[in-house]
Structures are given as C-alpha cells and as structure tokens.
Chains A and B, each alone.
Chain A
Amino acid sequence: MAANEHEALEATLNIHPMEQFKVTPLFGDGPVHWYTPTNVTLWLFIAIAAIVLLMIVATRGRNVVPSRGQSVAELIYTFVRNMIVDITGEEGLKYFPHIMTLFLIILFTNVLGLLPYSFTVTSHIAVTGVLALAVFFGVTLLGFFKNGGKFLKIFWISEAPLALRPILAFVELISYFVRPVSHSIRLAGNMMAGHAVIKVFAGFAAVLAAGTPLGIGVIAPIGAIMAVYGLELLVVVIQAYVFTILTCVYLNDALHPGH
C-alpha cells in the first residue's frame, strides 16, 4: 500500500514543463554539433519561409488596389515605418531594413511557437541575446561615429544640480549597459514563461483525466489553458512590438544624444 501510494505520488508530480525548450536533433538522437539540423533550425526556416511568402510572393502582383496578402504586407510596412518616423524622425529611416527584419523575425517566430507541437525559437536567451547585442553594439558604434565625443552627453544630465551629476552619470552608465540584458531577457522570459504555464496546466489536465471518473475534471485546466493561450496571443504580438519600439528609442538616443 505504501509502495502504491508512493508510486501514485511520483506519477502525479512528474510534470516537466521545461522539456519543451530542449534543443533536439531532427534526425536520430546523436549529439548536437553546429551542423546538426535541429528543431531550432527547422522552425527558424519555417518562420523565414513564411516571411518570404508574405512579403515577397504576396506582393508580386503590385496591384494598385491590393490583394489580401499584399494589403497585410503593406499594413506591416507602414506600421513599422510610422513607428520609426514617430520616434527617430526622418533620418532613422536609413535603418529601416534592420528594424523591419527584427520586427518580422520576432513576430513570426513568436506566433509560430503558438502552434501545438512547435518550438519557439525566441524562447532561448541565445537567440534573443544575439538580437539584443546586435542592437546594442550597432547603436553604440553608430552613436560614436555620428557624434564623436558628444555621444557621452547622454550620461551627463544637464538638468540636475552640478554636485549630483557624477553620481547620476555613474548610474546612467550602469543602466545603459543593463539595456541589452533587459532587452533580451524580456522577450525570452515572456516566451518561456507563457509556454511553461501552458505545459503545467496540461500536466494538471493529465492528472485529472486519470484521477476523476470519466475524466470529467479536465474541464477546469482546459478552460485555464484556453484563457492563457488567448493571453499568449496578445503577449506575443505586444512583445514583438515592444522589442522594435525599444530598438527605435535606443536608435534615437544614438542619433540625437543629450537630454
């Protein structure tokens, strides 16, 4: 009896929400080298194929009255363009390709991660860290090339009293270097947290299916999964938007330094 209870407890507590983030090779079970096709490469490829399908193939007709796919592509284009012009002004449009690429990649990989049995590429710090570091290095180098030494004016706040400025400059410097950290962890953490919560509720559903008669108890966790899934849809789009708009804000800092 004690052994059965222990086994039953062991079975119910075996919820593994982190297994879905493991990088596994597509073919076979060998070790993962840099050349192994993995589920990451597969889903990244699907995202890029979807982007090419929407942006290039759908707009091939170049109608004046746009077709469905073309109008969606135009919507995304004008959305990102207006965002850049609003925040950085006309000179930020030179960097439109990079920002558009960031927005499209993050949006498509996030949304594709919502499909069942798929893999969210942006839930790994390795992926979002590279995106955020590219933005950080790009913006810093751009600031120095465009403004020279005057770029350091973003740390020297002229509205503060003179005695306070060194301390404030130190604090501003630290918060400037924390930028890529928070930029990357925000996206990766949101993706990982949402999917892990869904997996935990799915574990509850499995337990209740085995535990209650006829499995009638699964209604509650499945309702919760539906609610969290709807929230995830919203969070996915908002996180792509926030990543892009923060990139525009950092770019504006580099192009027009000084408070």
Chain B
Amino acid sequence: MENAITGDLAQMGAMIGAGLASIGMGGAAIGVGSVVSSFLSGALRNPAAASGQTATMFIGIAFAEALGIFSFLIALLLMYAQ
C-alpha cells in the first residue's frame, strides 16, 4: 500500500536522518544529569557552601543542554524544512 511517506525517497531519507539526529539528545540528558548529580552530592556534604554555587550549576546545565538542543534542531529542520 502506498504510504504518504515512502512515496518520496528524499523525504524518507530526511525522516531517517531526523531519527538518527535525535539520538544525540540522550547524551544531553546524561550530561545534565551528571552536572546536577555532582552538584547534589557536593551540596549534601557542605550545605552552607551550596547556595553560592547554584549559579555555576545553572551555567553547566545550559552548556550541557545546548548541545542536545543543537541535535534536536537538526532533527526538526530535517523533518519539516526540506
């Protein structure tokens, strides 16, 4: 049965590429979790010094998240903006 997707080979390639690109977001999730986990383990050891470093934690989260967003952006562009 002719599907709306497989009728067009370039479209199919774009969809497969989008699926491959979105694998990169797993790395972003691991990175953000790693930043927050090390912040938590340090903060539970030394709670008084923790509030001074929340800024650093947010910067670290933004850096780790940004690269995942880049890969999500590529996936979106491939899917909808050929």
Contact = CB atoms under 8 A, between A and B. Distances in A.
Contact of B66 (A5, A10, A18, A182): A182
A16 interface: yes
Contact of B70 (A189, A196, A241): A189
Contact of B58 (A13, A185, A196, A238): A238
A64 to B, nearest CB: 29
A164 interface: no
Interface in B1-19: 1-5
A178 B65 CA distance: 17
B81 A242 contact: no
B73 A6 contact: no
A9 interface: yes
A79 to B, nearest CB: 11
**Interface SS, A side:** helix
Contacts of A17: 76, 80
Contacts of B55: 83, 86, 245
Contacts of A13: 4-5
A193 interface: yes
A39 interface: no
A229 to B, nearest CB: 17
Contacts of A2: 1
A196 to B, nearest CB: 6
Interface string A210-246: 0000000000000000000000000000110110011
B69 A245 contact: no
B4 A239 contact: no
A193 B76 contact: yes
A185 B1 CA distance: 41
B62 interface: yes
B49 interface: no
Given A193-B69, A193-B73, A9 B4 contact: yes
Interface string A185-224: 1100110110010000000000000000000000000000
7 contacts: A6-B4, A16-B80, A17-B80, A189-B72, A189-B73, A238-B62, A249-B59
Interface of A: 2, 5-6, 9-10, 13, 16-18, 83, 86, 182, 185-186, 189-190, 192-193, 196, 238-239, 241-242, 245-246, 249
Interface of B: 1-5, 55, 58-59, 61-62, 65-66, 69-70, 72-73, 76, 80-81
